[in-house]
A and B are shown apart, each in its own frame.
Chain A
Amino acid sequence: MHNKQFEFLKSSYHLSSDIQEILGFINDELPPAAPVAELLFKAKIIVTELLTNSLKHAGVNSTIINVKISEHDLSIIKIDFGNPLSLIQKNYPVNTKIPISNDILHTLYAILDSGKNIHFFCDEINMEDILAVENIVEHFGLLIITKAADKFTYHYNEQTKENLFEITIKF
């Protein structure tokens, strides 16, 4: 297991170099048999969205990215103390598939489990009407992470106000 923690202060974000720093670690530590190009592509778009999410949302002063690499898994964990995802404030029933966005291309779902973790996944939709472009959503952050990951979970700790995004890619 290889593990490294990166901390980025919002006041000094340099997205491109911050992302490259993380990708450099992943590239160095992946096992020789791992599909390196595919994993680096997925890690790049996931880390980009995680850091962009911190930049966009109020209350985030710093972001911690923790990368763990084991024999068959790459985990990327983001922790910040900004405002929680609005999903957490809705009283969704436990273990129920809730569509949180829907267009002609995808339906993105969230499932809240009994441990107050939100799991994201999506279905692709068979596009029948190419002209219905006005129906396409303009927010892709959660969708990109969901589609690049094998597992994507969000947890908000009400006591510590910690947002934790955990992404796993299997290889």
Chain B
Amino acid sequence: MIKIIKDTENHLLIEIEVSEANLNNSDLFKAQVIQLLDRHEKTVIIDFNKVEYIDSSFLGALVAILKHAIGMKLDVILVGLRNDVHDLLKLIRLDKVFKIFGNYNDAINV
């Protein structure tokens, strides 16, 4: 479901390994990322480059992860979103609560 790509002092970079982020895998995704937050206590950067579509269940999981991270005074950053996925986040205004960058380098160079 997810793979750790990079583990630095300040953050973890993880990649979602499925193309369809939906009801079938949203619970597992949430559990895995929350486990990473608890274990590493670092901001998580999530790379969506393989994700072709996303549904409301997966968006709900993302928000639950963000709430968990903020409770730990950490953050969740999204990178590599395809246009359709980014447009859906913008439609329901989640672009106002997540930090979103084109790619990993943009995210760490802010």
With A15-B20, A105-B93: A52-B84 Cβ-Cβ less than 8 Å: no
Q: How far in angstroms is the closest Cβ of chain B from A8?
A: 14
Contact pattern, B 5-43, Cβ under 8 Å of A = 1, otherwise 0: 000000000000000101110000000000000000000
Knowing A52-B22, A133-B66, A140-B59, the reply to whether A44 touches B53 (Cβ < 8 A) is: yes
User: Which residues in window 37-81 of A have CB below 8 A to B?
Assistant: 41, 44-45, 48-49, 52, 55-56
Q: Please, how many residues of chain A have a CB less than 8 angstroms from a CB on the other chain?
A: 29
B61-105: which residues lie under 8 A (CB-CB) from chain A? 61, 63-64, 66-67, 70-71, 84, 87-88, 91-94, 96-97
Chain B contact surface mostly: helix
Q: How far is the CA of A130 from the CA of B23 in the complex (A)?
A: 27
* Docked-complex contact A16 and B63, CB < 8 angstroms: no
For A146, the closest partner residue in chain B by CB is B92
The binding surface of chain A is classed by DSSP as helix
Q: Contacts A133-B67, A136-B63, A139-B56; is A127 near B91 (CB within 8 Å)?
A: no
Q: Which residues of A contact B55 (CB under 8 A)?
A: 48-49, 52
Contact status B23-A52, CB under 8 Å: yes
CA distance A134 to B68 in the complex (A): 9
A60–B55 Cα gap in the complex (Å)? 19
B residues near A141, Cβ cutoff 8 Å: 56
Q: Are B56 and A147 in contact (CB under 8 A)?
A: no
Given contacts A15-B20, A52-B23, 4 further A-B contacts (CB under 8 A): A48-B55, A124-B93, A127-B96, A133-B63
3 closest cross-chain pairs (CB), A and B: A138-B60, A140-B56, A141-B56
B binding-site residues for A, Cβ under 8 Å = 20, 22-24, 53, 55-57, 59-61, 63-64, 66-67, 70-71, 84, 87-88, 91-94, 96-97
Using CB atoms and an 8 Å cutoff, list the residues of chain A in contact with chain B: 15-16, 19, 41, 44-45, 48-49, 52, 55-56, 105-106, 124, 127, 130-131, 133-134, 136-141, 143-144, 147-148
Q: List 20 contacting pairs A-B, 8 Å CB cutoff, sorted by A.
A: A45-B88, A45-B91, A52-B23, A52-B57, A105-B92, A105-B94, A105-B96, A124-B93, A130-B97, A131-B70, A133-B63, A136-B97, A137-B63, A138-B63, A140-B60, A140-B92, A141-B56, A144-B91, A144-B92, A147-B92
